[in-house]
Chains A and B, each alone.
Chain A
Amino acid sequence: MRIGVYEHKARKGLIRVSLKIVEGVIEEATITGDFFIYPEDALFELESTLRGTKASWAEVSSKLDEFFSRGVELAGSTPEDFKTALKKALVEAGVHGEA
């Protein structure tokens, strides 16, 4: 079991990702902070999508791209900010390669 936590500062808002990885799979993913995302509950859908995903940047990145292609709006942050936060949280959890 590995834990990865990373705080990334977007222009407006801190994005804090906490990952719990068990046997190479993301068991828990929370994305907390003072950012703005619309509709708001899309954020919880994103967390849900990440749960059960293989803990690899390729998989996670693909899920994020799909998520942001669905028309969520951000204020003061970009999809890149969320990708950076997720990527670095994976690194913190010891997931390397496939950058």
Chain B
Amino acid sequence: MGRLRVLFYETPDNPFYSLAFEEAIFQSVMRGADTTLRFWRHSNAVIIGYFQKADEEVNIEYARKMNISIARRFTGGGAVYHDLGCLLWTVATRGPEKGSVSYLYDHLLEGFVNALRRLGFTAARENVNDVVVTIGDKSFKVSGAAGSFRGGAYLLHGTLLLNTNLEVLSRVLRVSKAKLADKKVSDVKYRVTNLANLNHSIGVPDVVKAVVESYSELLGLDPYYDLPSREEVDLARRLYEAKYSRAEWNLLRMPHSYFESASTT
């Protein structure tokens, strides 16, 4: 049986480095590293999607006042607030050579949904990349995911609200009028909740166990525990210095090509 590498590798006070490491894993798996699962957190940060501009998505003054870092990731999707009550997870694996949105959001994301089911929740994917749990007749969004694929490799990363400060979350993220006015799409996105509110006894160890077992089963792989390779650490450092630490990346929304003269190899 093939292997599922599990990493616990985080820099909670440096979300920029953390996101550089995500790209390093992606490239590493592209080059043949084992399927990798990562668990990580941020202390106090807003992470915006690849296509977003910080000043359109974040209440900058409030972020400044609360010392919330603003960092941009290489995957699309929306802006999210992270504190230590939010668990981040990443699965990176080789998949269909011809890139597939479906492999990301139908197949790989199902692995995370299954983990919540293992924890006893009625859980489902909704509207591409939202993960909701249903209690009675109410649904709550507890997780969102975003992913990318290139060169036969797929990376999907997402959140899980365990015990995040939802007040800070609602104040630091801007919600556009167009979204508020939209009645056609489910408003579950705005009913976010912490898993701790739904089940007080669930903590990080339970979630990690469920996610590892779930992906082990979904991908048919045997889990083992590891640390990043030297290559991954070196690559993350280079990506951080060249790109993820820079305002041109985080705030000015420059594409990868803008930074290409610096090293990504």
Contact = CB atoms under 8 A, between A and B. Distances in A.
Interface of A: 7-9, 11-14, 16, 30-41, 43-44, 73-76
A34 B76 contact: yes
B182 interface: yes
Contacts of B78: 13, 34
B179 interface: yes
A30 B52 CA distance: 10
A7 B76 contact: no
Given A7-B177, A41-B256, A75-B105, A35 B51 contact: yes
Contacts of A76: 127-129
A33 B52 contact: yes
A8 B179 CA distance: 9
Interface of B: 49-53, 56-57, 74-79, 99, 101, 104-105, 127-129, 146, 148-150, 176-179, 181-182, 184-185, 253, 255-257
A13 B50 CA distance: 13
Contacts of B178: 7-9, 14
- Give 6 closest A-B pairs by Cβ, nearest first: A34-B78, A7-B178, A76-B128, A36-B76, A12-B128, A44-B255
Nearest to B258: A44
B51 A75 contact: no
A31 B76 CA distance: 13
B97 to A, nearest CB: 14
B106 to A, nearest CB: 10
Contacts of A36: 76-77, 101, 128-129, 146
A32 B51 CA distance: 5
A75 B176 contact: no
A43 B74 CA distance: 13
A51 B260 CA distance: 22
5 contacts: A11-B185, A33-B52, A36-B76, A40-B76, A75-B104
A1 to B, nearest CB: 21
A91 to B, nearest CB: 15
A16 B56 contact: yes
Contacts of B146: 36
Contacts of B53: 30, 32
Contacts of A12: 127-129, 185
